[in-house]
Amino acid sequence: MDAANPLCRWLLAAGLIVAVGCQSNGKSGTLSARGQVPPDPLAPAGPLAPVAPGPLSPVGAGPLSPAAPTSADIQKTSYTALPTVGKAAEMLKDSIPQIRVVAHVGSANHVTDQEVVEAVRQRDFTGFEGHARRAKEKELYALELRRIIERELILDEMYTKLKKAGKLAAIDDIKGFAGTSADHAIRGMRKQAGLKTEEEFGGWLLAQGLTEAVIRRQIERQIMGDEYVRSLLKEKGRTPGLADVRGYFDRHPEDYKTDDNVKWLDIFISFNKHATPRAAYDHAEMIRAKAAAGDDFVGLVKQFDNGLAVGTNGVGLGSKRGEIKPADIEAAIWALRPGEVSAVLEAPAGYHVVKIAEREYAGPRIFDAKVQIEIREKLTEQYRKIEYQKFVDDLWRKGAVRIIE
């Protein structure tokens, strides 16, 4: 996952990261779609370097290898004087070369160079400089182009099927939901970035070589495709049974084991708060007796602790072997069972009284309800990915895709 870009980090938190090309591979296992119906603007894009279109080249299901643009084109693209969405559509309709179409998908879908370029710019290029960066940009351009074409195939299929079934109202509903979701996402993006005006937000995007129109379009169409494919896979998806779950558990024992883990509560009595070490010990013993008698341990922490446990509701520092602090009391902590209160434990700066709140013992996990739920969810996701890939591969085989070289 490429999330070094600030925009990608926000989209990750919003659950929309695939929508703007932040995934780590070209054949996304997650849906990457944006709904396609003829009345939509064809390409919300800014002026790109004019390039005369070449001959159309049919593309099948194999990897895309566009000869143009090169990674140098990506770096040199200008984003001044951005047109509106409607203007971009008119420019494309009139064949004005400022909007460069790099692929035709289905009967009416188009992919523009700017959309692919912006997807590439949202990737993390940390550690890539000079020739290595240019080579990486060229590689990612091909991957992003394929990803965007894939989502256009999905939405072309959606429009065709729903129109044939006389369910055009469903398309409008999906588009409305996607538009509302995109509005919410962009408002959240602005808020996260601390930007108050549209002008500030536009400048923030421009500094990253991005445009709001393209991002909005990507989010909307991502959501539209998600909704359509989710409905298809819900009908086709296989539900793992108990035998499947148990079989997975038996075949992957390494995934279902645990290390020693403890959550412990601590009260620290400092030598510095008492006249003598003996006085500190007697005070600690009084607290230990209260805890052992059943007094609320967190309440005792708030009343008597001289350390940092007050700020953590009593939770001590460290949960695994070798992590317990102070190290002087670690052995005593691992010797206790859940619910037990320790004796008064001496450390260099004072005494500790601890209680074990939770404890997990090293070894294989049992085949309980929690493990079964984890495995069932994992298998369901695997089955969904298999069905999704079958669906997408079929679209590549039968879909009409042409790359403009």
Phi, psi angle pair for 37, to nearest 5°: -135, 150
- Over residues 336-366, the pLDDT tens digits come to 999 999 999 999 999 999 999 999 888 998 9
> What mean pLDDT do residues 235-264 have?
90
Residue 247 lies in a domain: no
Query: Which residue did the predictor score with more confidence, 3 or 346?
Result: 346
Query: Do residues 272 and 228 share a domain?
Result: no
Query: Do residues 46 and 145 share a domain?
Result: yes
State which H helix or E strand residue 352 sits in: strand 350-360
Which residues share a beta bridge with 267? Answer: 353
Query: Do residues 262 and 217 share a domain?
Result: no
- Alpha-carbon distance 296 to 293, whole Å? 9
Query: Do residues 313 and 399 share a domain?
Result: no
Query: Do residues 110 and 10 share a domain?
Result: yes
One-letter identity of residue 65: S
Query: Which residue did the predictor score with more confidence, 7 or 227?
Result: 227
- Over residues 158-209, the pLDDT tens digits come to 999 888 999 888 888 889 999 999 999 999 999 999 998 989 999 999 999 9
- Over residues 102-154, the pLDDT tens digits come to 999 988 888 999 999 999 998 989 899 999 999 999 999 999 999 999 999 99
Residues 6+ apart with CB under 8 A from 116: 102, 141, 144, 145, 148
Query: Do residues 226 and 269 share a domain?
Result: no
> What mean pLDDT do residues 379-405 have?
89
pLDDT at 263: 96
pLDDT at 129: 92
Q: Do the Cβ atoms of 45 and 115 come closer than 8 Å?
A: yes
- Helix 6-14 vs helix 168-193: crossing angle, to nearest 10: 130
Residues spanned by the domain of 112: 6-240+385-404
pLDDT at 405: 73
Query: Do residues 280 and 175 share a domain?
Result: no
Query: Do residues 213 and 305 share a domain?
Result: no
- Over residues 29-39, the pLDDT tens digits come to 333 333 333 33
Residue 136 lies in a domain: yes
- Alpha-carbon distance 242 to 280, whole Å? 57
- Alpha-carbon distance 44 to 110, whole Å? 11
Query: Do residues 210 and 304 share a domain?
Result: no
Angstrom CA distances, 349 to 83, 265, 282, 308, stand at 68, 18, 15, 13
Q: What percent of the chain has pLDDT over 90?
A: 54
Query: Do residues 198 and 166 share a domain?
Result: yes
Angstrom CA distances, 129 to 136, 147, 195, stand at 10, 25, 31
Give the count of domains, the chain. Answer: 2
> What mean pLDDT do residues 272-292 have?
96
Q: Do the Cβ atoms of 229 and 33 come closer than 8 Å?
A: yes
- Alpha-carbon distance 319 to 258, whole Å? 13
Query: Do residues 307 and 164 share a domain?
Result: no
State which H helix or E strand residue 202 sits in: helix 198-207
Give the predicted TM-score (pTM) of the model. 0.54
Q: Do the Cβ atoms of 47 and 393 come closer than 8 Å?
A: no
Q: Does the CA dihedral 368-372-373-375 come out positive or negative? A: positive
State which H helix or E strand residue 204 sits in: helix 198-207
Cα 270–315–259 angle (5° rounding)? Answer: 120
Q: Do the Cβ atoms of 99 and 108 come closer than 8 Å?
A: no
